[in-house]
Amino acid sequence: MKKIFLYILAGSLCFTACKKDDEVERFVEPEDINVRNSYDEQAIMKFMENNYLDSQGNIKAFSATDAADDNEKKLSELNPVKLPSGVIYIKRSGAQPNPGAAINTDSNSSTASLIKTMMRANYYVATDTDGNVSLSYYGALVNTIDGSNASPVTDPRFYYVKKSVLEGATTDAAKQRSYYEIEGLQEGLSYFNGFQGMPNEANYNLQGVIIVPSKAAFARDNNFYGLQNATFVFNFQIYDTQVRPADQQ
């Protein structure tokens, strides 16, 4: 009986030890917003080291096993521009309109631009797991590029929300543009010109990338999408740009 008890005890200790070895430490959101901002910055830098743009401007991760992408330039080597807000934009060489139309991204302006865009808008959370800080993919706000029915979208809500939506909102928070619109995206887009009159069926040739850290998006504020502490990566081409008609404001 004593021997059986010892076997059971030994097995229990082994199970406990094995369980501890196999457990994956779960990321806990830091209370200090400065730590969150530091995670974002570190993770974005790593993202730009680990990804490149393919022949159509799509963001692709470098392969550890396929040598086909060995000569591709990292995003960090494509002349990224970092703005004081922390927003980073990359203009892809040879993919810009000439001259194109300036984009007025001030959504409070009566001449704010209406845009039609092919866009992949992914969101991530920068996490620290055992000292490894990186962007963890959480989902997409919109993806008009992939799939059999790919087609550009006009004025995604995170770029411009109509007055009718604000006026019809039932809470004070939802009556504010900041509840829907991503300020960092608007800021980044203001450095691009858009094409004009491209048909929906035209093949895309993405113009570039805008990376928005959480502090330039919603940070920890409540928002329409329920996305606090999220970093956004926009990969896009503006198919059409025009002064916003009165009935689209």
Give domain status of residue 11, yes or no.
no
Give domain status of residue 17, yes or no.
no
The pLDDT of residue 1 = 45
Instruction: Indicate the length of the chain as a whole number.
Output: 249
The pLDDT of residue 174 = 97
Task: For residue 32, give the 3-state DSSP assignment.
Answer: coil
Task: For residue 105, give the 3-state DSSP assignment.
Answer: coil
CB 124 within 8 A of CB 230: yes
* Residues 6 or more apart whose Cβ sits within 8 Å of residue 182: 158, 159, 212, 216, 217, 218, 232
Low-confidence ranges of the chain (pLDDT < 70): 1-25
The pLDDT of residue 147 = 83
CA distances from 4 to 1, 8, 82 (A): 5, 6, 66
**pLDDT tens profile 72-118:** 999 999 999 999 999 999 999 999 999 999 999 999 998 999 999 99
Give domain status of residue 194, yes or no.
yes
Give domain status of residue 20, yes or no.
no
Whether pTM > 0.85 for this model: the answer is yes
* Residues 6 or more apart whose Cβ sits within 8 Å of residue 194: 97, 100, 101, 103, 113, 115, 238, 239, 240, 241
Task: Work out how many domains the chain is built from and give that number.
Answer: 1
Give domain status of residue 4, yes or no.
no
CATH number, domain with residue 230: 3.10.50.40
The pLDDT of residue 209 = 98
The pLDDT of residue 150 = 86
Q: In which domain, by residue range, is 68 found?
A: 28-248
The pLDDT of residue 25 = 58
Q: What is the 3-class SS of 143-209, one letter each residue?
A: ECCCCCCCCCEECCCCCCCCHHHHHCCCCCHHHCHHHCCCHHHHHHHCCCEECCCCCCCCCCCCCEE
What does residue 2 show for φ and ψ, rounded to 5 degrees? -65, -40
- Is it true that the peptide bond before 156 is cis, omega within 30 degrees of 0? no
Q: Where are the alpha helices (DSSP H) in the chain?
A: 2-22, 33-50, 163-167, 183-189
Give domain status of residue 111, yes or no.
yes
What does residue 133 show for φ and ψ, rounded to 5 degrees? -95, 125
d(CA 99, CA 78): 21
Give domain status of residue 94, yes or no.
yes
The pLDDT of residue 3 = 40
Give domain status of residue 159, yes or no.
yes
